[in-house]
Structure 1
């Protein structure tokens, strides 16, 4: 009996030590990344479309103070912070207009890109407004693009980032699954929702492969978003927003702080 209590006591101490060490290690990693400048690149999922509180000077890029890059820099105070992510950005736009702040002194880079290249907005519009067969056909076209063309586009972006910021930790964030399946939900059919989720999985796996090939870190947001998809009853994602159509199918502020920020923290 005494031995059992001693084992429990020692186990508790060990758990506390491990927890403290893990927390300290994570804080140290963030501090190291903060020593150099932080540059936040990418599309609307990084700029914070859907989260509100947009920075007026960002114009149509809709950079939000509630987006994960802004939240991370506020908590970690990097030596410099450049927020160039922009709503609607494709890989070519990232290459053409977002990489300027990168340099050998950059310590941390974040990025989400690829969804717009694959025609995400058109896929969702087609699936909301048209028949199931038309929706599935459009998804198959997007899947073919992700498999055949997107890897080369991602390679171009990742190579350019590494060339400009040779010393940076580069974290590429993925996309959530949009729908909870098996739930009663007004709107898209179960087949449409499942096909959209499968396409998101393909986009994530394709991105992760290229990320790993370049020695970067892939931050998968699907786990923290589980239970918070559209149709879940506690969604961190906007469904169709007819008053502000551009926010449709983008993370709310809760999705940025509860989904994207923890995934980014864990990757850093």
Structure 2
């Protein structure tokens, strides 16, 4: 991710530990087989530090995928999530890591397709009305165009690993409304951003259910830890490097995503 194109690209939406398992049977123990971690910056761990030699993909040693692999010792681990990824990047550069013996696949994708990096830039630099309008545009895209793009990704995952457990992780709410922030975006802007998170969660969870995948709703997993929350904040506000803004920090990757993933995998 690079500012402004990818600064907030990955996500602005959805946070939580509520999980719903649908349909297809999964192996008795995902840890017994190969684990493949796909997705964008929320999966690569941008914002959580310790990126090693992963370059612009910013794959963090503190990302939920790496934490799960460390704790569960799968037979093989392929960590290919990359900061800034859109659905076409997953198809062109990531799904090839999935083989027929894959037991677990995780993925977060869709926020960049809907342009939420631009949403966050707009809301930080423009009026309330412009921010709300830009969120409405992103929400309309998510409802009308994103489902087909997700179908393309989910079809490839299922075809490549017919018996794998597939866990689709959503995006957290960025803000706690009525919270403790005295500066920054207006409450109108924060509410519009969170509403976009809700739309994205609805679309992604619906397509995940259609494929029999497990959806982790990150809005609950991060609840009480958003920006403006009175408790420990698991999401960066504007920070440096700027591409790590509005992403989970190391505590959020562990307390939010990893905890939720352990509950279902």
TM over 0.5: yes
The answer on whether the counterparts of 2:45 and 2:59 sit within 8 Å (CA) in structure 1 is yes
Equivalent of 1:236, from 220, 234, 253? 234
Residues 108 and 170, structure 1, Cα contact 8 Å, conserved in 2? yes
CA RMSD of aligned residues (A): 1.2
Checking the alignment, whether the CA contact within 8 Å between 1:31 and 1:76 is kept in structure 2 is no
Q: Which runs of 5+ in 2 are unaligned?
A: 1-25
1:116 corresponds to which of 94, 112, 115: 112
Structure 2 counterpart SS, 1:226 = coil
Q: Which has the higher helix share?
A: 1
SS at match of 1:261: helix
Aligned residue number for residue 160 of structure 2 = 164
Q: Compare CA radii of gyration and give the structure with the larger one.
A: 1
SS state at 1:136 partner: helix
2-side partners of 1:196 and 1:252: how far apart?
19
Answer yes or no: is 1:149 the counterpart of 2:145: yes
* Contact 1:102–1:161 (CA under 8 A) maintained in structure 2: yes
- Alignment map for 1:204-243 (pairs within 5 Å): 204-233=201-230, 234-241=232-239, 243=240
Aligned residues: 238
> How does 1:5-24 map onto structure 2 within 5 Å?
none
Relative contact order higher in (CA < 8 Å, ≥ 6 apart): 2
Partner Cα distance (1:207, 1:252) in 2: 23
Q: TM-score, normalised by structure 1?
A: 0.87
Answering whether residue 24 of structure 2 is matched by residue 33 of structure 1, we say: no
1:103, 1:164 within 8 Å by CA — same for their partners in 2? Answer: yes
Q: Structure 2 CA distance, aligned partners of 1:184 and 1:54?
A: 31
SS of 1:157's equivalent in the other structure is: helix
- Match 1:51 to one of 48, 52, 76: 48
